[in-house]
Chains A and B, each alone.
Chain A
Amino acid sequence: MSKPFRIAVVLATALMILGPVGLVIYQSFLSGPFFQPSSTLTTQAYEFVLFEEDDFREAFLNSAIIAAGMTAIAVPLGCIVAFLLVRTDLPGRRFIEPLVLVPMFISSVVLAFGFVVALGPVGIVSVWAKGIVGFIPWYLYSKTALIVIAGLTHVPHVFLYASSALRSLGSDVEEAARSSGAGPMRVALTVSLPMIMPSILYATVLVFFLGFELFGLPLVLGDPERILVLATYLYKLTNKLGTPSYDLMAVVVVAIIFVTLPLVYTQRKLLAAANRYVAVKGKATAQKPLAIGAWRWPAAALIVAWLGFTVVIPVSALVLRSFLSTWGEGVAIWPNLTLNHFRELMEYPNLVRGIVNTLLIASVGGALSVGFYALVNLALHRWRSRWTGLMDYLVLVPRAMPGLIAGLAMFWVFLFTPVLQPLRQTLFSLWLAYTLVWLAYGMRLVSASLLQIGPELEEAGRVVGARPAQVSRDVTLPLIKAGLIGSWVLIFVTFVREYSTGVYLLSPGTEVIGSLLVSLWGTGAVDLVTALSTVNLALILVGLALMYALGNKRHA
């Protein structure tokens, strides 16, 4: 690729990233909506939100508590699960391992519905438990329950990093400790775990950061008791004062980014440190699993119990509920089985459009996004320049923006920019927001395949006489084709699962399942919500099947 072209791509990407953020920051210093000429520059919105608004302070505090609490649950559990599955002779670990990642692929708002349907005050499991012990021994809508559920659903994130670090650790370092006289337990505590500490630290910051971004779970589980977190506070703020208060929303967004951006930056530093650590690993020879004897069974039971609680119970309750005409205490399951909710679904044109749009944006849109990520990656590929360093930092910005915020910012951009206005109510606005939100993730997916191409394969193209663009076309792209298809499948699943980005962009023509679910839940249409969630799960299942068929073993 020629240099001007590379710079053009970087500048376009920078505009796409900084435009929405810049608009939000600008709005946060205005007295009214940015499109009203009467708005003046002021800091009054900051003064109000930061010093006078009790709800904001409470939401901020809740976010911090929930993020800390779920980190305290997810990190140890994730490490234990990773150690058991990667390093020990746990029965059935080959079968369990792929299942551990399933919570990552399910939209958290869908999971939250599942918990309500299963464990809520009139949930399927609750009613069953009440029938046995006479009362329901838990209360789903408490802060504690929210923390526990958030913690348990984020175990896969920790597992992912801990397990890959454990896998790259050669058994030789452990065997060396064994032959110096350390027992298995001591080996784990003094050799294996310290060696993967940088990865654990990284996962810890990641989970804490995701805790601050939490939207789906607190929206559904926190609402009955009015437990607000930052994202749900922002969402409620839209309607709190009757008219949308742009300035206040902008301030909340800036506040959230102020918390998340340093966390993302820390993650970046930690990841670099973790990778450096891996470089001094032992020789990664065939690993010999550690025999843990009789502990195998309770250990396996722990993992199965976790999977049962976080995936099997909510998902099966949700799917079951979508086939039940009604549910409550004393309602029998068999006589009430029905397909009516799905038929009903088909009668609402906006819901049908939502399903079609979801498929479109995930398949066609996903392919276009991967194409875009590939283009940016190729523009930066093997380019020793300050521009690439700039991009490294730029992609941190969308990572720090939760989908809800990116969607809001994109919505404003489409309101603000005259040339874009006609496109606001088309799928293009939604696609752009999705592409932006998942920019860092998609870039990493594509760059993973680019990294596997030895530089000399491209240099060989140059010396035999190919211009840079010809090398990209004839050598680089054909070599990453398989990687791009794999990335597309992962992006497909990601886009099907996405629910928060489309919330503010929801309008006739831009409905997707995720944003429809959020708005339908507010109306209390449980039948439609469960049916639509089941459709969403089915689509994700299609994506996972595709992934399995492609033998794609790369994740997040």
Chain B
Amino acid sequence: MPKLAIEDLYLRYGSVEVLKGIDARFEEGSVVCLLGRSGSGKTTLLRSIAGLEEPCRGAIRIDGKPVYDAGQGVNLPPERRDLGFVFQSYALWPHKTVFENVAYGLRLRGRTKAEIGAKVQATLDGVGLGQLADRYPSQLSGGQQQRVAIARALVYEPPVILLDEPLSNLDAKLREEARIWIRALIKRRGITAVFVTHDQAEALAIADQVVLLDGGRLVQSGTPEDLYERPETLFASEFMGTNNTLSVSVAERRDGRALVDLGGHRLWGVDRAGASAGTGRAKGVIRIEAVRLADGAGENRLPAEYETSIYLGNQFEHLFRCGDQTVRLLSDRRAVPGRHWLECPPDRLWVF
């Protein structure tokens, strides 16, 4: 049985449909990332799980028990769902000390003073803030505040913790460190975590399961590798990674492969459009790191004029012009102006 199940969930604000039938299952102990652009409904979905938004159809179950079920008329208020929630702004109560912020959930649960003291201290130690219990939130740095927010959500040991873009207010360096320790912390405690982010790199780094949302619908759900290497739709393939999206015409589809024509040059790629698709105009997507500079003409290669380069530090990004289309690729060498041959490996070129 999944730890958290979302079944055919719909939510509307007035006449605007924000969630249009989401179905997803999250396994116990896994870190799930809800990934999508702003407006994709990912935060709304997270808030619906917490009970902060009210869907209009569908169900949300934790351990098989409904916390929301439109059919049965169940809609538990947030305080009865027993979840942890980390807000994007952290939402630490400015009038309470760090200790009191973390202790509040335990007080509400009627724990003894001794137990509260011990648990809060242990949780704060766990996030590396054992020394700062008497401070007020305004006396902490952004990174420390974030840790308090996480401690507050974990202290009463909820089975599921929800995090709404918890890293977005940190600077780039801190964010990379935080990814690692948050994942380690969640894994150590063995709880299920649902994490909202619009940053695909963050999702890939932190998640066991990535759920890609677009326009209130679920696009694809799977492991980070599934999403990056085996995108099922054009949207998923373009959303992840950095890509060349080429306008091609399909000459032939055969055995899961497609032969496309790009400015008179023939390339083989993976057929992602399914059996029903015919020939004609199509999109070819290839990640920029998959295109290689070749030394001459050959299979699955096309000629291109060198346009310009960007120096990225560890490598170069080159821009080539091929007819009226541009192709970007990564290389650790400089390129000289003039004509070059670019190789697109057939298993890395996806045709939709």
Known: A462-B78, A463-B84. A454 touches B89 (CB 8 A): yes
Bound-complex Cα distance A462 to B153 (A): 12
Bound-complex Cα distance A463 to B81 (A): 8
Q: Are A479 and B104 in contact (CB under 8 A)?
A: no
**0/1 string, B82-106, CB within 8 A of A gives 1:** 1111011101111100000000110
Q: Are B156 and A465 in contact (CB under 8 A)?
A: yes
Known: A464-B153, A465-B156, A466-B79. A459 touches B108 (CB 8 A): no
* Residues of B27-75 whose CB lies within 8 A of A: 50-52
Partner of B52, one of A454, A463, A470, A475: A463
Q: Are A456 and B108 in contact (CB under 8 A)?
A: no
* A residues less than 8 Å from B108 (CB atoms): 464-466, 470
Q: Are A467 and B91 in contact (CB under 8 A)?
A: no
A339 at interface, CB cutoff 8 A: no
Q: Are A474 and B104 in contact (CB under 8 A)?
A: yes
Known: A462-B77, A463-B78. A456 touches B89 (CB 8 A): yes
Main secondary structure of the interface of A (DSSP, over half): helix
Main secondary structure of the interface of B (DSSP, over half): loop
Bound-complex Cα distance A465 to B105 (A): 6
Q: Which of A460, A461, A470, A474 has the most CB of B within 10 A?
A: A460
Q: Are A460 and B91 in contact (CB under 8 A)?
A: yes
Q: Are A461 and B104 in contact (CB under 8 A)?
A: yes
Bound-complex Cα distance A470 to B89 (A): 22
Bound-complex Cα distance A464 to B157 (A): 11
Shortest CB-to-CB span from A473 to chain B, Å, is 11
Number of interface residues of B (CB under 8 A): 26
B152 at interface, CB cutoff 8 A: yes
Number of interface residues of A (CB under 8 A): 18
A262 at interface, CB cutoff 8 A: no
Partner of B83, one of A454, A463, A474: A463
Q: Are B95 and A465 in contact (CB under 8 A)?
A: no
Bound-complex Cα distance A468 to B77 (A): 10
* Residues of A429-475 whose CB lies within 8 A of B: 454, 456-457, 459-468, 470, 474-475
* B residues less than 8 Å from A470 (CB atoms): 108
Partner of A459, one of B52, B82, B109: B52
Bound-complex Cα distance A470 to B107 (A): 11
Known: A464-B104, A474-B104. A457 touches B78 (CB 8 A): no
> Lowest 4 A-B CB distances belong to which pairs?
A464-B105, A462-B78, A456-B91, A463-B85
Can you name 11 A-B residue pairings with CB atoms under 8 Å? A454-B91, A456-B87, A461-B104, A462-B51, A462-B77, A464-B79, A464-B105, A464-B156, A465-B108, A467-B79, A475-B93
Residues of A at the B interface (CB closer than 8 Å) are 454, 456-457, 459-468, 470, 474-475, 478-479
Apart from A459-B91, A464-B156, what are 10 other A-B pairs with CB-CB below 8 Å? A454-B91, A460-B152, A463-B51, A463-B52, A463-B78, A463-B81, A464-B104, A465-B82, A465-B105, A465-B156
